[in-house]
Amino acid sequence: MISLALAHRIFLLGMKSIWRRRLRSLLTVLGIIFGVSSVIAMLAIGEGAGHETQEQIRQMGSRNIIINSIKPPEEEQVSAANASRINEYGLEYNDARVLQSTIPHVNVLVPQRLIRSRALYRRRRIDANLVASVPWMPAVANQEVVRGRFFTHPEVETRKNVCVITTDLAQRIFLFEDPVGRTIGVGGKSFRVIGLIEPPTGGGSGGSTRNIYAPLTTVQERYGDIILDTTGGSREIEKVEIHRLVVEVDELENVLPAAEIIENVLSRRRNEQDYEIIVPLDLLAQAERTQWIFNIVLGSIAAISLLVGGIGIMNIMLATVTERTKEIGIRRALGARKKDILIQFVMETVLLAGIGGVVGLVIGIAVPYIITYLSGLMTIVQPWSLLLSFGISLMIGLVFGIYPAVRAANMDPIQALRFE
C-alpha cells in the first residue's frame, strides 16, 4: 500500500510534469474533453426528445383506449370516383352501447364527432374543428377548463346552443376581447361561448389546437349525421356517427386485456376495417424501449471520441517516456523501484484524463442549456450521464496509461543513464 504522504508527493510530481508541458497536455486532453462533453450533450438531447414524446403519450391517458374511425382504402377510391355518393363508415352509436355493456373494467366512454368548419366572429373567420362530445370529456382527455365552465348534463339533454373553445382559437378570433358570453358562428349555426379550455396534446380530441366543443345532442340535431366535407378543394359527402371513442379503464393492469376484448368485439361487429385502436399505455412502453435503444446508440457514438482521446493520451505518454529516459535512469540509480516509476506515469495519465473529464463535464452541461435557449428544444441532463462519462474518462486514462508506464518501469537503469 502507498502511504498518504507518498501519494501526495506523486500527485504533486504528476501535476508539475503536466504543467511543465502544458501546451502538449492541453492538446492531449482535447479528445477526452470533446468525448465527455459529446456524451453528456447527446444523451441530454436524446433524453429531452424522449421525454417530450412520452409526455405527449401520457397526456392521452395511460388508462385510456382510443378508437378512431378511419376511411377504408376502397372507400377512398370510390369517393374520389363518385363525389355524389354518401360514404358511410366508422363507429356507430350501437358500437358504443355494446362496448359499454360488454367490456369489463370500463369506467366511462367518451364519444366524439368531428366536423371541420369555420368559426365566425364579426368579420374574423378562422378554420376550426367542431367537436361534439359529452360533459365528462375534459377529465378523460386531461384537458383543463381555464376560464368559465364546460357544458353540463342538463345542457346536453335540452340540446343547448353552448360551446367551449380552446385558448388558441380564442386568441385568434377574439383577439383582446373576453370570449365568455359572446356568440360565434360555426358552419352557419350560432353558439354561445361559456368557457375556455386548454388545447389537446398528444393526439387529443380533434387533433387540433383550434377546437370548438359542443354537446353531442346539439350537434346531432343541428347538423345531422351526414357531413359535406369540402376541405382540400374536394367535395365529399360522409356519414360518420362517431369519429372517436375514448374508453377509460379502471386500472392500468386491465388496459391491455380490455383492448384485446374491444378488438374482438369490433372485428365481429364491423364488416370492414374502418377503425383503428390506439393504446397509449402500449405506445408509452414502446417509446421507453425506443428511448433506451436511442440512448445506447448516441452514447456509443460519443464514446468513440473518448476512445480516440485515450489513444492520443497513450501516444503522448509513449513519447514522454522516450523524452524522460535519462530522468528515469537517474531515479532508478537513486533507489527508485519499478513500482515507483509505474505509479508515477500512471498517475500522470490519470491526471490528464481527469482534467479532461472535468472540463468536459462543464462543457457538456453548458451545451444542452445553450441548445435549449437558442432552439427551444428540450434537453435533460441526467446525473447518471455525468458519472458515466467522467468514470469512463478516468478508466480510459488508466487503461491507456498502463502500457507506457510499464515500458518506463522496465527500462534498464544503465541503458537509461547512457541515453542522449
Q: What is the pLDDT of residues 34-90, one digit of tens each?
A: 888 888 888 888 888 878 777 777 777 778 889 998 887 765 555 555 555 677 888
**In what helix (H) or strand (E) does residue 338 lie, and over which residues does it extend?**
helix 338-375
What predicted TM-score, i.e. pTM, was given to this entire model? 0.66
pLDDT at residue 184, as a whole number: 94
Going by C-alpha positions, the residue among 229, 217, 197, 214 that lies closest to residue 127 is: 229
Residue 343 C-alpha cell reads as: 505509479
DSSP symbols for 252-284: GGGHHHHHHHHHHHHHHH-SS--EEEE-HHHHH
Q: Which of the residues in the chain have pLDDT under 70?
A: 1-11, 13-14, 74-85, 202-207, 229-235, 302, 413, 416-420
- The set of residues, in sequence order, having a beta carbon less than 8 Å from that of 17 and lying 6+ positions away, is 348
pLDDT at residue 113, as a whole number: 92
pLDDT at residue 235, as a whole number: 67
pLDDT at residue 145, as a whole number: 93
What are the angstrom distances between the C-alpha of 298 and each of 148, 286, 302, 386?
47, 18, 6, 15
pLDDT tens-digit readout, 248-277: 888 888 888 889 999 998 888 887 888 899
CA 92 to chain centre: 35
pLDDT at residue 1, as a whole number: 53
pLDDT at residue 82, as a whole number: 54
pLDDT at residue 303, as a whole number: 72
User: Which of the 8 DSSP states describes residue 235?
Assistant: -
Residue 10 C-alpha cell reads as: 506523486
pLDDT at residue 125, as a whole number: 92
pLDDT at residue 418, as a whole number: 65
Going by C-alpha positions, the residue among 49, 37, 34, 56 that lies closest to residue 372 is: 49
Residue 22 C-alpha cell reads as: 502544458
pLDDT at residue 151, as a whole number: 95
